[in-house]
Amino acid sequence: MRFDVVTIFPEMFSAISAWGVTGRAFDQGLASIKTWNPRDFTSDTRRTVDDRAYGGGPGMVMMAKPLEDTLDAVAKDQGTQKGPVILLSPQGERFNQKMASELLDLEAVTLICGRYEAIDQRLVERRVDREISLGDFVVSGGEIPAMAVMDAVIRIIPGALGDAESAAQDSFMDGLLDCYHYTRPENYENLLVPDVLLGGHHAKIADYRRKQSLELTLKRRPDLIDRAREQGLLSSADEAYLVTLQNKTGF
């Protein structure tokens, strides 16, 4: 999968291209990244990409022309390997695991990282296919959200993780939060690993983890229970256990 990233701070992306799971995925050719700096597509000596907002107000606005020229260059470089143009924006759709899986089906995606107060809306209307937000908060630019989106997609590329089951068991992959995990030693500061995890009985372990996942999700993110139910992701055993939990705890 190919990622083209439009950013005035391309150096930031070494954090995802050179380290960890994503770095290995790039090294193995499972994904590729190319950064594009809009300043390289300006004609003035100051390489200006922003200007004051019409109507006044604080902050600067990224200009449409440098961004559009950048996107033209991206499209030409992609050739037939084209994909949607996505703007990381507080006004966008809330990013989630389902969206990450949808992006995985694409050959390529172009991510625009905004800076300053905003991007000229005319560029958005002309060239952006989709806007994505990480949540109801504001950061200084789109670079960190873009890396978060890329990381979420890359880790579910087949072969990106050492064990394919790792991604399958992540939170949200089956609509629920993940269960708790433990490693050595069995006794840490008088806190013990649950006995069922030490017994080696795979069916009992799977049942324990599923129930813990249901309990954590019901307690912390009940909205995910409703969504999983709507999507048909809960079994009759799951529903019976949820009833037991609700009767016992009042969640």
**Residues with a known catalytic role:** 90, 117, 155, 170
Cα angle, residue 241 at apex, residues 238 and 245 outer, rounded to 5°: 135
99: exposed, middle or buried (Cβ count in 10 Å: 0-12, 13-18, 19+): middle
Pairing relationship of beta strands 2-6 and 187-188 according to DSSP bridges: unpaired
Enter the tokens of residue 229: 């139910």
- Please state, in angstroms and rounded to a whole number, the distance separating the CA atoms of residues 222 and 116: 36
- The packing angle between helices 143-154 and 97-104, to 10°, is 70
- Please state, in angstroms and rounded to a whole number, the distance separating the CA atoms of residues 99 and 112: 17
Under a CB-based contact definition with an 8 Å cutoff, are residues 53 and 47 in contact?
no
Residue 93, C-beta contacts closer than 8 angstroms, at least 6 positions apart: 99, 130, 131, 132, 133
Helix (H, G, I), strand (E, B) or coil at 192: strand
Give me the DSSP letters along 221-235.
-HHHHHHHHHTT---
Q: Compute how many other C-beta atoms are within 10 angstroms of the C-beta atom of residue 136.
A: 7
